[in-house]
Structure 1
Amino acid sequence: MDDYIDTPFEARDAALRPARRRAQERPNPGEPLWVEKPEVKDVQEMETGLHLPVSAVIGTDYERLIQLRMNVRSQMRKDDPLYRCSLCNTAVYICRTKESARFFFKHQHEDGSCPAQTRGALSQDEINARKYNGAKESKLHRRMKDWVCQCLAADGRFEDIAQEPTWKGPLTGERRRPDVRAVYNGLPIAFEIQLSTTHLDVIAARRDFYQQEGGLLVWLFAEFDTEHRRMTDDDVFYNNNLNAFVVTTKTVEASVEASEFRLECIWAVPTKGGGHSGLHRRVVPFHELTLDPTRQHAYYFDYAGAKRQLEADVEAEKQKLRDDFEAWMGITGYQGKESSRDWNEFRRRFSRLGVHLHQYDNYIDREVLTDLYSAKHNRPWGQGQKLLVEVAHRVANTEKNHLKWFMHAVRRYGREESMKAEGKEGHWHKRYLELRAQYDVDPTPFEPKRDAQAMVELLFPELLPLP
């Protein structure tokens, strides 16, 4: 350490505050994240052997994509790629465009033999990797290493504190030089300062090394916000249980005064529908963090745990709605006893789960619901018929637009064999072949009413995906 850390904290803020970066485009929730015209249009998923369009792999879930991006890089380093180019069988990884929050697949190596050309003379990742090495020598980077050591030394829970020591892995034989290394309650921890754009392969390599060696990698930022966040920041944040840590002159001062290592923790909270909140912030002691070397996570707020609980609560809410609605439909049937009060309550409950129903219950497609409930219970449901095959004939004769979903439900619920045994032998089979011939000529009459699809998908998740 040098004499700089003995100067007043307030005097350092202006001099060492990171230069303001330009605002980065953030994707809107649910919007497509792939580029419109990628060079690599299809990739082979190595686990299944399936060839998939890149749009299906990249998708619309930013959180999932950034975690997948890390996993792809990590597996590529182990010479066990998750995806290969469908045209040339070269391993591919996921990159972000420089201009916008859109992603594409790039070849690991390129010799010009593949029609898809994804690499220039020097890729952006390679440029970023070179910039990373230069940033490690910046004045702020050196000062932050001093600050971290000062904070660790003030906290009696840390031992063997050192700047840029050589960490040799006894299992792999590899070597690393973390910015700061210390032992916390018997756990070796590597602290790395993150100030500039870092090649994802660098992040993945360090993460894999410390995971294999039984240590824990903790990234520290000089600042972290939404508007000016870089791709590098997201690569760390989304792969650390959506937690990030910032060290500033104020957190250093708080650490020294309290004789414990304190950091500003930034985290997000999951919300219904698969998104998450804005950033929450709090200065917290290091000893209040949960440390998970197996997953290489250090976090204050357990985002993954909260997400699992939220998903369980939402699923319980959905199941309660399914049970209540099915019971209500079974009681009311076609008897005209529907209560507007009950219907309004159901509309509110459906709406809370993202399905918006008509103001009046007589506008719902009661027939398709009756058909699907009949297949589910293996008997005519809410009507006077006695056999499921009778429902099939009624659908074939008067509700052709329900036939596709009804027969899909019959197969999913395993009712085909029992239905064949009902009624006159071979009658339904013959009728079904006639309908298939009609469909081949003109499928239009068999097209389901898609305005009922969201409601059907919520009530019958076991039938997904609907044809």
Structure 2
Amino acid sequence: MGGNVTVDPRERATPVDDPAITEARSLRTGRLLDAKRLIRSFSYDAAIRLRGVLKDAAGRGRPRLVCPMCGVTLFLASSMCKKFYLRHRLEDGSCPAVTHSGLTEADMRAMKYRGAQESDAHLRTKELLARSLAADPGFSEVRLEATWRASEGLPGLRRPDLSARYGELRTAFEVQLSTTFLDVVLGRKRFYRAEGAALVWLLPSFDPSYRRMTTDDILFGNNSNILVVDDVTVAASIAASQLVVRVWHRQPRIEGERIIDDWIVRLVPWKELLIDVDGQTVCAFDFAATESAAISELGRLREQQRAAKEATGRAAAEAAEQELRGEIFAWALAEDRAYGLFDYYHRWAELNYDLVAYCADLLGTPSDVRVPIRMVKVIETAKAGKPVGFGYDTLVEVAHHLFHQRPELLKGFGFLLRAYGHHHLLIEQDVRGKWASKVAAHRDAMRYEPRFQMAADEQRLFDFLSEDFCRKPAAGWRDK
């Protein structure tokens, strides 16, 4: 096999270890690009397509990359082991970076073509193709190596291996040689695109696990499809009375967290092929569109997984928060049943430490255990609509008690009653109007005086224990 190296299309492109040209200047942005970093930014199949893009742009007089030392157009070339490097389009000895021998591509192509252009394999493939076309009445004007001159007085000519017409579509068939240079492929694409004709590259065989660079240039330039003509396809063409080719193509699919490719091979009638004259592709499978859909789907799945992970994390955090809140409530309401003050106080120290994670711990050492107990009783009273832990029978009695004994809890108590739908009980139980009178007389004091305000750490704890209901009055609340 001559030591050929075959690279998975989705692997990162690998630069040569010691490139002669270490930087390139982008003519679009003017920036200097590190050659190795540029090459590594592409997957292998994308690097193969980049080879074509750079050569095609230069052929149209609009080069993309130039050598920063001499200004000569740069192409992307590959070593025998499929490692990439930047190479001058021409070398005249004026640049210290030397990237190839004195032979031009035209010289090397001529040398190779003399020995391989009409090899037995090449002649046989053309014969098989001719027999296949003859079996299909849809093809007309089938010609072997007929000269194809540019129309409308444009210069240039080509001599495809076979040419034919399929309805209104003119087609040129070329049997790909292992020595076909990329500039030849691109030159023919430009010619037939200008002629409004389809260029069809055909191989005598294909093995996805053993691909030469010249085959990769055809494969990735044809939407990851390869067309093959062999004895089996000829027999199928004759049996079906229509041109049939063997098509190999990549088919992307999602596996876990990445996209991988399956290699699919099947016999495909000509009329089922997707022909894009402008893009000069002839395919049985639209790899690019399928890959784009797979990338979008993978992105959607990743976003879905991320959202699910975040939701799980939030649920776990909320559960932990509710568990701590529940432990504090159970501890506070068990005050009368506690055995041993030391253990009871020690338990609060543990709970207060756990509150640090929520920025709701009481500061000071030791903190007053009566503070969280009173908060829990106020919250439970507002929630139940009746006194819990207080020696009173009505909510209004609790309100009077807080006004005189714990004024810092009064405003939060009112907000909690509103949140739990029990504020009306406070009004209904104020039979003699004493509470209403007290509120009216001290409204400004309740709003602004420090005694009706909690310390910052106590307010954070009250917010945590009440799940912020103590600070979220309903619309229309008038501090009654």
Query: Normalized against structure 1, the TM-score is what?
Result: 0.64
Query: In the TM superposition, what are the counterparts of 1:32-51 in structure 2 within 5 Å?
Result: 32-51=13-32
Aligned to 1:365: none
- Map 1:144-293 onto structure 2 (within 5 A): 144-171=125-152, 172-272=154-254, 276-293=260-277
1:320 is the counterpart of 2:316:
no
The residue number in structure 2 matching 1:24 is: 4
Deviates more, 1:43-52 or 1:201-210: 43-52
Is the CA contact (8 Å cut-off) linking 1:23 and 1:227 kept in structure 2?
no
1-structure distance, mates of 2:23, 2:57: 19
CA 1:174–1:124 in structure 2 vs 1: closer, same or farther (change >3 Å)? closer
In 1, the alpha carbon distance for the partners of 2:300 and 2:218 equals: 32
AA paired with 2:6? Answer: R
Q: Does 1:102 align with 2:83?
A: yes
| Counterpart contact for 1:155–1:261, Cα < 8 Å | yes
Q: Which residue of 1 aligns with 2:475?
A: none
1:139 is aligned to 2:120: yes
Task: Sort the Cα spacing of 1:163 and 1:338 in 2 relative to 1 into closer, same or farther, 3 A.
Answer: farther
Who is 1:298 aligned against?
282
Deviations 1:125-183 (A, max 9, x none): 74245313542222332232232122112112112111111212225332111111111
Task: Work out whether residues 72 and 81 of structure 1, in 8 Å CA contact, stay in contact via their aligned partners in 2.
Answer: yes
Change (3 A) 1:328 1:228: closer
Shift of 1:322: 3.0
> What is residue 46 of structure 2 aligned with on the other side?
64
| More displaced stretch, 174-183 vs 142-151 | 142-151
Q: TM-score, normalised by structure 2?
A: 0.63
Check whether the contact 1:24–1:227 (CA below 8 A) recurs between aligned residues. Answer: no
What does residue range 310-349 of structure 1 map to in structure 2 within 5 Å? 310-333=294-317, 336=320
Residue 338 (structure 1) shift = 11
**1:398-437 alignment, distance < 5 Å:** none
Change (3 A) 1:266 1:129: farther
Note if 1:122 corresponds to 2:103.
Answer: yes
Distance 2:322 2:198 in 1: 60
Confirm or deny: 8 A CA contact 2:13 2:84 kept in the other structure.
no
The letter of the residue matching 1:292 is: D
Is contact 2:87-2:99 (8 Å) kept?
yes
> In 1, Cα distance between the equivalents of 2:77 and 2:68?
17
In the superposition, relative to structure 1, how do residues 267 and 68 fare at CA in structure 2: closer, same or farther (>3 Å)?
Answer: same
> CA separation of 1:248/1:65 partners in 2, compared to 1, >3 Å: closer, same or farther?
same
SS at match of 2:236: helix
Give the stretch that moved more between structures: 228-237 or 121-130.
121-130
Q: Deviations over 1:192-230 (max 9, x none)?
A: 001322111111100111112211111010111134321
Distance 1:27 1:250 in 2: 28
Shift of 1:41: 0.5
- Counterpart of 2:124, as a letter, is R
Same amino acid, percent of matched pairs: 32
Structure 1 Cα separation of the partners of residues 201 and 290 of structure 2: 22
Structure 2: runs of 5+ lacking an equivalent:
324-356, 361-480
Distance 1:114 1:256, change over 3 A: same
Cα shift at 1:268: 1.1
What SS does the corresponding residue of 2:268 show, helix, strand or coil?
A: strand
Give deviations 1:217-275, integer Å, cap 9, x for gaps: 11010111134321110000011011101111221122112211111111111244676
CA distance, structure 2, for counterparts of residue 155 and residue 224 of structure 1? 24
Structure showing greater radius of gyration is: 2
Instruction: Kindly state the Cα deviation for residue 337 of structure 1 after the two structures are TM-superposed.
Output: 6.1
SS in 1 for 2:222: coil
- Assess if the C-alpha contact under 8 Å between 1:225 and 1:279 holds in 2: no
> How far, CA to CA, are the matches of 2:197 and 2:208 in structure 1?
30
Measured after TM superposition, the shift of residue 185 of structure 1 is 2.6
The CA RMSD over aligned residues, in Å, is 2.5
CA contact (8 A) 1:152 1:161 kept: yes
**3-state SS, counterpart of residue 311 of structure 1:** helix
Post-superposition CA distance 1:363-409 (Å, at most 9, x none):
xxxxxxxxxxxxxxxxxxx9669xxxxxxxxxxxxxxxxxxxxxxxx
1:298–1:164 distance in 2 versus 1, CA, 3 Å: same
Whole-angstrom CA distance in 1 between matches of 2:258 and 2:49? 15
Query: Is the CA contact 1:333–1:383 (under 8 Å) kept in the aligned structure 2?
Result: no
> 166-175 or 199-208, which moves further after superposition?
166-175
Displacement, 1:311?
A: 0.8
Q: Single out whichever of 29-38 and 329-338 deviates more from structure 2.
A: 329-338
Q: Contact 1:75/1:82 (CA < 8 Å) preserved in 2?
A: yes
